[in-house]
Structure 1
Amino acid sequence: MSNTRWPNFSAKELRCKCGKCGSDGSEMQPEFMDSLQQLRERFGKPMVLSSAYRCRRHPEEARKAEPGEHAMGLAVDVQIRGADAVQILHLALNLGFTRIGISQKGNSRFIHLGRAPIGGRLPSPALWSY
């Protein structure tokens, strides 16, 4: 665990995993992280993050015409499935996460939780499946 103001999330799991940029996890937006910490406390169980901050050189971001929420420090992907996924979805909606993507088939099951500015280039609120 971390000694930051978000005790359930370590800098290691928040940093970019491209291996080229020197990210340290501090790129995540504090207001977003406050909401994520609140979500974790209400969920009451560990939340495994498969992705958090991504620099513009990260393979996922490099494919995009413009960087997404991960590159703005405004999104995470939580590895989760089944009833726990339904609970996270319910809690996230009540905590004001405005961009939610759901992948609940195959081996890569996760929920994308994001918060893009309303009126920005990314449609918000938005709910989608992968």
Structure 2
Amino acid sequence: MSDQSSRRYFSSTELRCHCGHCISDGSEMDPAFMALLVRLRLVYGKPMPLSSAYRCRNHPNERDKTMPGEHTQGLAVDVRCSGQEAFKIVHLALNLGFVRIGIHQKGPSRFVHLGLAPEGGHLPSPMIWSY
């Protein structure tokens, strides 16, 4: 799937790091991951707004980690969703092969983390967790 195809459904603003200090433009996202995300978007059939995608090592959510997370390798996004829509996204994501799913469904910023563990990485996979 081309970069053009992924940009049709996900903007550079959504995909880039939001640390405020780096020059990320969203192109850091892994192409195979983005192809899978676009497949999910097509099967889901409606917009999937992202609250987070690529994060540089200096992003506040990443800098205190001992090992880089999936976001730093362009292998994860957080999709803003809740309730039945979150359930539908998780169900579809599992069927498409996403192997790391985090669920945050309390408070005002509800989302589902969708990721792929990097090969040879330290992250257990498959895995589902809650925040």
Q: Please indicate the TM-score interval, normalised by the length of the shorter structure.
A: over 0.9
**After TM superposition, where is structure 1 displaced by more than 4 Å over at least 4 residues in a row?**
none
Aligned residues: 128
Cα contact 1:56–1:67 (8 A) shared by 2? yes
Taking the aligned partners of 1:44 and 1:5, their CA distance within structure 2 comes to: 15
- Could you tell me which residue of structure 1 aligns to residue 80 of structure 2? 79
SS for the counterpart of 1:33 is helix
- Could you tell me which residue of structure 2 aligns to residue 91 of structure 1? 92
CA apart distance, 1:19: 1.1
SS for the counterpart of 1:61 is coil
Query: Where do 1:1-130 residues align within 5 Å?
Result: 4-6=4-6, 7-117=8-118, 119-130=120-131
Instruction: Quote the sequence identity (%).
Output: 64
Taking the aligned partners of 1:66 and 1:91, their CA distance within structure 2 comes to: 29
Cα contact 1:13–1:51 (8 A) shared by 2? yes
Q: Partner amino acid for 2:36?
A: S
SS for the counterpart of 2:54 is coil
What is the CA RMSD across the aligned residues, in angstroms?
1.2
Deviations 1:96-123 (A, max 9, x none): 0010000111112100000013552100
